[in-house]
Chains A and B, each alone.
Chain A
Amino acid sequence: MTTLLESLSNELATAVEAGGRAVVAIHARRRIPASGVHWRQGVIVATNHTINRDENVTVTLPDGTTAPVTLAGRDPSTDLAVLRLAGQSLATAHLRLDPSPSVGEFVIALGRPGPRLTASWGVVSSVAGAWRTWRGGEIDSLLRLDVSIYDGFSGGPLIDAAGRVLGINSSGLARGAPVTIPVATVERTVGELLERGTIRRAYLGIGTQPVRVPQSLARRLELKNTVGLLIASVEPGGPADRDGVLLGDVLLALDGADVSDPTDVLAQLGGDRVGRPIAAMVIRGGQMQTLQVTPGERPEPRAA
């Protein structure tokens, strides 16, 4: 009688089984282990925020055995970490790069917070364009989920109804709400982490806050954008300090693009900007001034 319903049920369970063959438990923090995905042969992707130590990291494989792994690199900005697993034969994830997930699509979040595989289901609730995390990481698209999440799900894959991986789930990027880091972002980050161990990012060494330029001044300077960024701190000896940026300057544009929010500055500071001068338009002493600033490479934040 219930052939369709039972077929759907079987398909979901089969997708879970297929996807689960590449899901491992990551032991790198106290209490509940987190999850990881065997992304490529010998390469496991996990979330950075669930790895609290650089050494003595182990994984539990789908067959229940435990194996040591080494940390190849981590990127707090995208909350991704890459681990190397040697000498194990383990299925690799079946990645789905195209088509991108659609709103309303059935999805399953897998986890392995211990020896057993866990699953929760739901739908993709929204898909939007590229975004930047609060730590400056560039994520190719914003995937929000209508899926319940459970302890230890971070680092596990979001899979489609055919068991293919759509991305890595994290609760560490949006105040605990589940976010999926799409396959394209993971691929790029994994490549760079395997090569360099870190993700190169440019920085200026300034702290800013948005301010409204007084109307009379804005009129006199013929400004279109009346919100600028007040330089509220300058890191001594940092790139901005070296290039003459002063406390109290109001930054209006970087490389010709208006900036009215601190994230606008981050958007200009991709890894390719390191060492290349960019024009910074500032108001200083009531006058417009253009400075050439050369971003340096952002030092890695030290883990606690």
Chain B
Amino acid sequence: MTAPLTTGLTQELAAAVDALRRVTVRVQASGAAASGAGVLWDPGGGDDTRGLVITNAHVATRAQATIQFSDGAVAQARVVARDRRRDLAALELEVRTAAGVAQLRGAPLLRVGELVIAIGHPGELTGAATLGIIHTTGGDRAGRTPPWIRADLRLAPGFSGGPLADAGGRLIGISTMMHGGLALAVPAALVQSWLRRAPAPAAA
């Protein structure tokens, strides 16, 4: 029996996961026991001297954090903005790696039922992947970006701050928590607008 479709899907999924893993880092707040994930983010303005990592505020709990890249390399980073209400934190790296940055999905809008992929570091694992679908879309008011992306997807501890991406490997959000059996992620668009407004550098 040959299964060309499934074989193709499996290869594509593996390739998408690989690409996402390269822009996913481990974030270990200085002195903290637990670690989480983070996403290498385009700092904008054509700045190629420093790197930017986005994660959850509940992951970057201290002013400093150790960042481990997918190739195992380690660098120190400093929190430049932190917002507990949105559960977002931005960390600045002294170096910019060759790993690249996450590709964001602009248009089109998310559709209920479309596939999503999350990458995280549960327990001893690094770069684990889970697959799910968009559970629901739309905010409380039409035309506004909803505060959360809700996905039918299982996130384990260690996925916090990591990427949630579409079937094309484009980033749609930052995985943040499980709530009522659903995975909740901060939409990438909200991260972008938060970064534009965030005071930098911010007191941690």
B97 interface residue (CB < 8 Å to A): no
Cβ contacts under 8 Å, A10 to chain B: 114
Which residue among B13, B15, B114 has the maximum number of chain A CB atoms within 10 Å of its CB? B114
Cβ contacts under 8 Å, B112 to chain A: 13, 16-17, 20, 117-119
Complex alpha-carbon distance, A6 and B168, angstroms: 6
B195 interface residue (CB < 8 Å to A): no
For window 158-196 of chain B, which residues contact chain A by CB distance below 8 Å? Answer: 166-169, 180-182
> Are A4 and B136 CB-contacts (below 8 A) given A13-B113, A20-B112?
no
Cβ contacts under 8 Å, A58 to chain B: none
Q: Are A120 and B152 touching (Cβ within 8 A)?
A: yes
Q: Are B115 and A12 touching (Cβ within 8 A)?
A: yes
Complex alpha-carbon distance, A2 and B169, angstroms: 8
- Closest CB of chain A to B73's CB: distance in Å? 26
Q: How large is the interface on A (under 10, 10 to 19, 20 to 34, 35 or more residues)?
A: 20 to 34
Cβ contacts under 8 Å, A108 to chain B: 113, 133
Q: How large is the interface on B (under 10, 10 to 19, 20 to 34, 35 or more residues)?
A: 20 to 34
Please give me the residue from chain B that is nearest to A147 by CB atom. Answer: B152
Q: Which of A12, A148, A150 is B113 in contact with, Cβ under 8 Å?
A: A12
- Closest CB of chain A to B81's CB: distance in Å? 32
Q: Are B137 and A8 touching (Cβ within 8 A)?
A: no
Please give me the residue from chain B that is nearest to A16 by CB atom. Answer: B113
Q: Are B115 and A150 touching (Cβ within 8 A)?
A: no
Please give me the residue from chain A that is nearest to B111 by CB atom. Answer: A13
Scoring A residues 209 to 220 as 1 if CB is less than 8 Å from chain B, else 0, what string do you get?
000000000000
> Are A1 and B181 CB-contacts (below 8 A) given A17-B113, A120-B133, A150-B135?
no
B156 interface residue (CB < 8 Å to A): no
Complex alpha-carbon distance, A118 and B114, angstroms: 12
B16 interface residue (CB < 8 Å to A): yes
- Interchain pairs with CB closer than 8 A, number: 80
Please give me the residue from chain B that is nearest to A163 by CB atom. Answer: B113
Q: Are A1 and B5 touching (Cβ within 8 A)?
A: no
- Closest CB of chain B to A202's CB: distance in Å? 41
Cβ contacts under 8 Å, A150 to chain B: 135, 180-182
Q: Are A148 and B167 touching (Cβ within 8 A)?
A: no
Interface of B is mostly: mixed
Please give me the residue from chain A that is nearest to B136 by CB atom. Answer: A118
For window 103-156 of chain B, which residues contact chain A by CB distance below 8 Å? Answer: 111-115, 132-138, 152
Scoring B residues 1 to 44 as 1 if CB is less than 8 Å from chain A, else 0, what string do you get?
00001001100110110000000000000000000000000000
> Are A15 and B13 CB-contacts (below 8 A) given A116-B136, A121-B152, A148-B152?
no
Cβ contacts under 8 Å, B169 to chain A: 2
- Closest CB of chain A to B183's CB: distance in Å? 10
Q: Are A4 and B115 touching (Cβ within 8 A)?
A: no
A105 interface residue (CB < 8 Å to B): no
Scoring A residues 1 to 25 as 1 if CB is less than 8 Å from chain B, else 0, what string do you get?
1111110111011111100100000
A255 interface residue (CB < 8 Å to B): no
For window 221-277 of chain A, which residues contact chain B by CB distance below 8 Å? Answer: none
Q: Which of B13, B133, B138, B166 is A119 in contact with, Cβ under 8 Å?
A: B133
Q: Are B181 and A2 touching (Cβ within 8 A)?
A: no
Scoring A residues 113 to 130 as 1 if CB is less than 8 Å from chain B, else 0, what string do you get?
001111111000000000
Cβ contacts under 8 Å, B114 to chain A: 9-10, 12-13
Q: Are B181 and A9 touching (Cβ within 8 A)?
A: no
Cβ contacts under 8 Å, B9 to chain A: 4-5, 8
Cβ contacts under 8 Å, A54 to chain B: none
A55 interface residue (CB < 8 Å to B): no
Cβ contacts under 8 Å, B8 to chain A: 4
Cβ contacts under 8 Å, B115 to chain A: 5, 8-9, 12
Q: Are B15 and A2 touching (Cβ within 8 A)?
A: yes
Q: Are B180 and A151 touching (Cβ within 8 A)?
A: yes
Chain A residues with CB under 8 Å of chain B are 1-6, 8-10, 12-17, 20, 108, 115-121, 148, 150-151
**Extra 8 A-B pairs, beta carbons < 8 Å, given A12-B114, A12-B133:** A2-B15, A6-B168, A9-B167, A16-B112, A17-B111, A17-B113, A121-B133, A148-B152
10 residue pairs, one from A and one from B, having the closest CB atoms: A16-B113, A9-B167, A13-B111, A9-B115, A120-B152, A13-B113, A5-B12, A13-B114, A12-B113, A118-B136
Instruction: Give 25 pairs: A residue, B residue, CB < 8 Å, sorted on A.
Output: A2-B15, A2-B168, A2-B169, A4-B9, A4-B12, A5-B9, A5-B167, A8-B167, A9-B115, A12-B113, A12-B133, A13-B111, A15-B113, A16-B113, A17-B112, A108-B113, A108-B133, A116-B137, A118-B112, A118-B135, A119-B133, A120-B133, A121-B133, A121-B152, A150-B182
